[in-house]
Amino acid sequence: MSLATPDGGPRRATIQSVERAARILKLLGAGSWRLGVTEVAERLGLAKGTAYGLLRTLEAQELVEQDPETGKYRLGPAMLQLGNAFLDNHELRARSLLWADSLASRGAEAVRVGVLHGSNVLIVHHVFRPDNSVQILEVGASIPWHACALGKAIAAYLPDAQRRSLLDSGLVPLTGRTVTDPATLEESLATVATAGVALEDQEAIVGEAEIAAPVFDDMGHSVGAIGVVGPVERLVPDGRVSATLLAAVRETSRGLSRDMGAGRVRSRGPAARP
Amino acid sequence: MAANRDFLTQLDAAIGDADHGVNMDRGFSAAVIDLDATTDLPPGELLIRVGGTLIYRVGGAAGPLYGTCLRRAGESLGDAQVFDGEALLTALRVGLGGIQKLGAAEEGDKTIVDAYAPALTAFERELRAGGDAAIAARKAVEAARDGMRATVPMQARKGRASYLGPRSVGHQDPGATSTASLFAALAGALDGER
């Protein structure tokens, strides 16, 4: 069976049972779910027997496990190992560890490293603000690209078609300051491309701001971004971006890009775009 | 607020920044100290002042949100030394407007608004039905608590909890919880007036 993909190429047939198993895992991972066989079957439109067989097979692989009291299913311990392996094998994350630590202590703020995943930024590394306060680990968080500096930093350096599709992806407001107008956002991305650094001022969380810069690979593609995130009164004191943090983020992203194999990183003006 | 601090911190740790309780306690303690030192200011001015303290001392999202709420409420009361239920209703409504302008949250997003909006509606309904401000405030507390409990099954659509994944489901929202506390404090204060 060969179906055309949107760009006209042929699509390889997928194996139905594997696809269904993957959907079960994603379903169990999408909420704080413990679901019974019937619930799984109903939500995925499967026959109960089919759902049962899939769950038993996944259970044997420890990808799901059954709660002994209720009999309901949840993700199993093997998922944690796979998740960790994803992080450990992620090149940008692996190379960012020392850079992120150094940026966090230099800037005295929390640091995040993110990659684009669909129209969100997936946080692959997070260093806490070094002040002994209680914080929540954000590794694995999925933030709408347009509401964080990481996303804007990545988007500003994407090929035109990809950037356009992000701008058209439906921009939801996370706060009263989130920019949801594609034209305004596009202009600010042009500024990011010139400055080489992006700012987010209370556009994801009230009271919080982020300063981020893109990270490039040896092909010159923006493969992710690194930034400092913290209280707006420290990152943007009196309405002006902290020059110290700006410099620190820029230098860190350049160093990390070099580690990723990038050549000398220049800031690109609008004319540099194809 | 001090008694609720640990409870709020536990809630927040489950889904958010783990410092809501600590932040609110610090901010309100600072506001109380400041109030003790002020001379006879009209209530509106006091609210503006407390709002300012909250903005600077609470931190997180709660500081700007509650601080702006109280400042706007205070501004709407002007310099009147006494005010009636209607003026209080307006102040409460304007306060909610401030919160929604900053945070862009609507009912169902699992935030302060999910306790505040029902509380406001209940307050107004009681006033229109002829009740006095103290009774209306008590109805508001009930509605705020109902709203607060209703956030438990919601998935957060605003704030850090909204992008940390599905773990917010099954936990009561800290912001909605502290909102219910604030309305309880209001009702307590009005009860004391009678």
Same-domain pairing of A55 and A177: no
Task: Let me know whether A57 and A107 are in one domain.
Answer: no
**Separation CA B131–CA B116 (nearest Å):** 20
Q: Which residue has the tokens 């404090």?
A: B185
Phi, psi of A128 (to 5 degrees): -65, 155
CATH of the domain at A253: 3.30.450.40
More confident residue, A212 or B33: A212
Residues 6 or more apart from A188 whose CB is under 8 A from it?
A152, A179
CA–CA separation, A185 and A179 (whole Å): 6
A31 to B103: CB separation less than 8 angstroms, yes or no: no
**Could you tell me if residue A10 is inside a domain?**
yes
- Has residue A138 been placed in a domain? yes
Does any domain span residue A85?
Answer: no
> Within the 47-106 window of chain A, which residues sit less than 8 Å (CB to CB) from chain B?
none
> Which chain A residue has the Cα nearest residue B102?
A176
* Residue A40, domain CATH: 1.10.10.10
**Which of A48, A79, A110 is the endpoint of a domain?**
A79
- Asked if B17 contacts B160 with a C-beta cutoff of 8 angstroms, the reply is yes
Q: Do A206 and B103 touch (CB under 8 A)?
A: yes
**A-B interface: how many C-beta pairs under 8 angstroms?**
67
Q: Mutate which of B11, B102, B110, B163 to disrupt the A interface (most A C-beta within 10 Å)?
A: B163
Verify that A50 and A143 share a domain, yes or no.
Answer: no
Average pLDDT over residues A50-78: 95
Q: Is A239 on the interface with B (CB under 8 A)?
A: no
Question: Is B169 in contact with A32 (Cβ distance < 8 A)?
Answer: yes
Structure tokens at A18: 């594997």
Residues in B closer than 8 angstroms to A126, CB to CB, are none
A247 and A175 belong to one structural domain: yes
Q: Is A231 on the interface with B (CB under 8 A)?
A: yes
Domain count, chain A: 2
Model pTM score: 0.84
Q: Which band of pLDDT confidence, cut at 50, 70 and 90, is reported for residue A8? A: low
Inside any domain, residue A84: no
Cα–Cα distances (Å) from A137 to A114, A227, B126, B177, in that order, read 14, 15, 44, 23
- Four-residue CA torsion sign, A221, A211, A129, A179: negative
- Triad B24, B28, B33: Cα angle to 5°: 150
Half-sphere exposure (Cβ direction) of B136: Cα atoms closer than 13 Å: 21
Which of A16, A49, A79 is the last residue before a domain boundary?
A79
Tens-place pLDDT, residues B108-123: 999 999 999 999 999 9
Residues A186 and A120 in one domain: yes
Q: How confident is the model at residue A7 (pLDDT cuts 50, 70, 90)?
A: low
SS (H, E, C) chain A: CCEECCCCCEECCCCHHHHHHHHHHHHHHCCCCCECHHHHHHHHCCCHHHHHHHHHHHHHCCCEEECCCCCCEEECHHHHHHHHHHHHHCHHHHHHHHHHHHHHHHHCCEEEEEEEECCEEEEEEEECCCCCCCCCCCCCCEEEHHHCHHHHHHHCCCCHHHHHHHHCCCCCCCCCCCCCCHHHHHHHHHHHHHHCCEEEECCCCCCEEEEEEEEEECCCCEEEEEEEEEEHHHHCHHHCCCHHHHHHHHHHHHHHHHHCECCCCCCCCHHHCC
Closest CB to A175 among B59, B102, B165: B102
Q: Is the CB of B169 inside 8 Å of chain A's CB atoms?
A: yes
Would the CB atoms of B19 and A208 count as touching at under 8 Å?
A: no
> Is residue B13 pLDDT above 60, yes or no?
no
- Domain assignment of residue A117, yes or no: yes
| A38 and A141 inside one domain | no
Smallest CA–CA distance, residue B53 to chain A, in Å, is 15
- The Cα–Cα gap between B99 and B96 comes to 5
Say whether pLDDT at B84 is over 90.
no
How near does any CA of chain A get to the CA of B104, in Å? 5
Side by side, the strands of the sheet bearing A198-201 are: A142-144, A120-127, A110-117, A222-231, A208-216, A198-201
My answer on whether A70 and A186 are in the same domain is no
d(CA B106, CA A187): 28
Query: Domain check: are A178 and A245 in the same one?
Result: yes
> Is A136 in Cβ contact with B164 (below 8 Å)?
yes
Q: Mean pLDDT, to the nearest integer, of A150-160?
A: 95
Whether B159 contacts chain A with CB within 8 A: yes
Q: What tens digit of pLDDT does each residue of A219-264 get?
A: 888 999 999 999 999 999 999 999 999 999 999 999 999 999 887 5
What's the residue count for chain B?
194
pLDDT of residue A272: 42
**Which pLDDT value is given to residue B97?**
97
- How many whole angstroms from its chain centre is CA A78? 22
What is the reported pLDDT for B37? Answer: 73
- Whether A24 and A142 map to the same domain: the answer is no
For residues B111 and B103, is the Cβ–Cβ distance under 8 A?
A: yes
Last residue of a domain, one of A54, A79, A104: A79
Same domain, A36 and A102: no
Q: Which of the pair, B23 or A39, is modelled with greater confidence?
A: A39
pLDDT for the residue A55: 96
Same domain, A70 and A204: no
**For tokens 């940026």, what's the residue?**
A103
- Chain B residue whose CA is closest to A134: B18
pLDDT per position as a tens digit, A157-194: 999 999 999 999 999 999 999 999 999 999 999 999 99
pLDDT-derived band at B2 (thresholds 50, 70, 90) equals very low
Residue A204's closest chain B neighbor by CA?
Answer: B159
B40-68: pLDDT as tens digits: 788 888 889 889 988 888 878 889 999 99
User: With an 8 Å Cβ cutoff, is B13 touching chain A?
Assistant: yes
**Which residue on chain A is closest to B65 by alpha carbon?**
A206
The pLDDT, as a whole number, for residue B190 is 83
Residues A136 and A252 in one domain: yes
In the predicted model, is pLDDT for residue A4 greater than 60?
no
Hey, is the C-beta of A174 within 8 angstroms of any chain B C-beta?
A: yes
Integer angstrom CA distances of residue A198 from A108, A148, A195, A245, B19: 19, 9, 8, 12, 28
Question: What is residue B10's predicted lDDT score, i.e. its pLDDT?
Answer: 53
pLDDT reading at A267 higher than 60:
no
Q: Do B13 and A30 touch (CB under 8 A)?
A: no
User: Residue A174: phi, psi to the nearest 5?
Assistant: -100, -25
Predicted confidence band of residue B7 (pLDDT cuts 50, 70, 90): low
Mean pLDDT of A204-219: 94
* Closest residue by Cα to residue B22 from B32, B33, B11, B35: B11
Domains of chain B, start order = 2-193 (1.25.40.340)
Residues in B touching A120 (Cβ below 8 Å): 163
Determine the length of chain A: 274
Share the mean pLDDT of chain B: 85
Q: How many CA atoms does the CB half-sphere of A191 hold within 13 Å?
A: 11
For residue A217, give its domain range.
90-272
